[in-house]
Amino acid sequence: MSPIPPAQIASLYRYPVKGLSPEPLPRVVLRAGETLPADRRYAIENGPSGFDPASPVWMPKSHFLMLMRDERLAGLRSHFEDNSNLLT
């Protein structure tokens, strides 16, 4: 049995807003225990979810819009600017 070659990462993408457009990351520093920079930093509530911005805690994805359930999100195009925190 021949050895399995090491895996190679061809590309990485982040989703600044959960369910909206992916953005390629041409270069990124990975740190143990951290997410990709600005990946899923924001999400759009799927109706009142009980999220408290003054005291944010993790919530299941079912509380937010997501491509798996809300396919029409795929028709939107968005872009996130890291320096200004601007979403267009």
Position 25 confidence tier, pLDDT thresholds 50, 70, 90: very high
Q: Which residue has the tokens 């795929």?
A: 74
pTM for the predicted model, two decimal places:
0.76
pLDDT at 23: 94
Q: Is residue 42 part of a domain?
A: yes
Number of domains making up the chain: 1
Q: Is 57 inside any structural domain?
A: yes
Structural domain includes residue 1: no
Residue 39 lies in a domain: yes
Per-position b or e across 64-82, b if 16+ CB within 10 A of its CB: bbbeeeeeebeeeeeebee
Range(s) of the domain holding residue 82: 10-88
Is residue 41 a part of any domain in this protein? yes
pLDDT at 1 over 80: no
Q: What percent of the chain has pLDDT over 90?
A: 59
Residue 4 lies in a domain: no
Three-state SS for the chain is: CCCCCCCCCCCCEECCECCCCCEECCCCCCCCCCCCCCCCCECCECCCCCCCCCCCCCCCHHHECCCCCCHHHHHCCCCEECCCCEEC
